[in-house]
Amino acid sequence: MVNCSIFDIRRQFDDIDKSILILLATRTQLSKEMALQKKSNNMPVVQTEIWEQQLNNRKNENDKLKVDSVFIDKIFSAIHDESIRIQNQELEKLK
């Protein structure tokens, strides 16, 4: 990546951002499926203990990658909040 032009770097940003969007769309679909599973198993949408384990797992993975930990907290908290919103929305449709 040495001597990349600003245009090359921007193109790489675009490619990465597209990949992120695809992954977020996939995660959205999984959140919808999770809502159905939780309903059929009579489980609450928010399961704090599991969320805390997941966040700790993400932080442990990040120890190798060295992305700013505050940023990681913000990103995964936002993703989790969106998953909760989607699951609640899906459960409302079933009422």
pLDDT over 90 at 16, yes or no: yes
Domains of the chain with bracketed CATH: 6-93 (1.20.59.10)
Per-residue pLDDT averaged across 54-82, rounded? 96
22-64 residue pLDDT tens = 999 999 999 999 999 999 999 999 999 999 999 999 999 999 9
d(CA 16, CA 71): 17
What's the pTM value of the predicted model, to 2 decimals? 0.89
d(CA 31, CA 83): 6
